Amino acid sequence: MMQRLFGWRWLPQVGLIWLLGLGTAWGEMVSQQALLEPAAFATLSSRMAGTIAAMHVREGGSFARGDLLVAFDCSMPKARLAKERADLQMAEKKHEVNRRMKELDSVSQVELALSEAMVQKSRADVGMAQVSVQDCAIHAPYDGRVSQRHVQPFDGVAVGAPLLDILANGPLRVSMYVPWSWSTWLTVKTPFEIRLQEKGPGYAARVTAMGARVDPASQTLGVWGEMNAVFPELLAGMSVTARLDSLGSPGEGGHAR
């Protein structure tokens, strides 16, 4: 009957259409624009008002956790710490004298209590001065790179002034907004791939979190993912295309197929 309807020369085309129909049933690849984001990022700010003595990293430079990134002129905080330590030593000696004199009933209990309070106050002042000295140095909170420098050596800055924008090393994150209807099949741990170009290589990723509500204006849902590995050619801030299989899986590993 098929021969009578189409003729033998139409059978290959009919078979291809039938197979494409089955392909749609097995799963459909869908695409959505996405943005690459760093694993972590921060703007390091000044914790003191003062002059920058040295900058130990440049824009684009790498650093390890604990490395010294920015050093302030610490002459005044160190001098204040020395003064507070001297005041503490004086307060401790005076309190020791009062304690011995109290044993001889030469001072009142009130005078002894006041000298003890002065010791506690001096210890607190020393602690505050130590914090000020620690604020003279800005250390790296994690392994990463510098994306922007806001200041230069010998600049004077106020408390809270931005110093460095930094990005953490590690697999990049992916953020995108998808039609809410995708939530019927898209779940956490769903694998997908991203591409920089339509015919370029694919990079494997997976969904790590989904939004708690649908945006009422756009009727979209926030979806966040993470790359399966570190790909040096991918940088935070890149606009990419995410490709997902609505029923299947594009595969695991490094470069997706």
Q: Which stretch of DSSP H or E encloses residue 6?
A: helix 2-6
Of 248 and 124, more confident? 124
Among residues 44, 8, 6, the alpha carbon closest in space to that of 144 is found at 44
Could you tell me if 44 and 82 are in contact, meaning their C-beta atoms sit under 8 angstroms apart?
A: no
* 133 alpha-carbon distance from chain centroid: 26
User: Does this chain's domain 27-39+170-256 share its CATH topology with 42-168?
Assistant: no
CATH 2.40.50.100, domain 42-168, yes or no: yes
Give the model confidence (pLDDT) of 108-117 as tens digits: 899 989 999 9
Q: How many CA atoms lie within 13 A of 225 on its CB side?
A: 31
Q: What is the pLDDT of residue 246?
A: 78
Whether the CB-CB separation of 177 and 220 falls below 8 Å is answered with: yes
Superfamily of segment(s) 27-39+170-256: Efflux pump adaptor protein, beta barrel domain (2.40.30.170)
Task: Assign 247 a pLDDT band (cuts: 50, 70, 90).
Answer: low
pTM over 0.85: no
Burial of 91 (C-beta count, 10 Å sphere; 0-12/13-18/19+): buried
Mean per-residue pLDDT for 239-244? 94
What average pLDDT does this structure show over 71-83?
97
Domain-by-domain residue ranges, the chain?
Answer: 27-39+170-256, 42-168
What's the confidence (pLDDT) of residue 29? Answer: 85
Helix pair angle (75-103, 109-134), 10° resolution: 160
56 vs 104: which has the higher pLDDT = 56
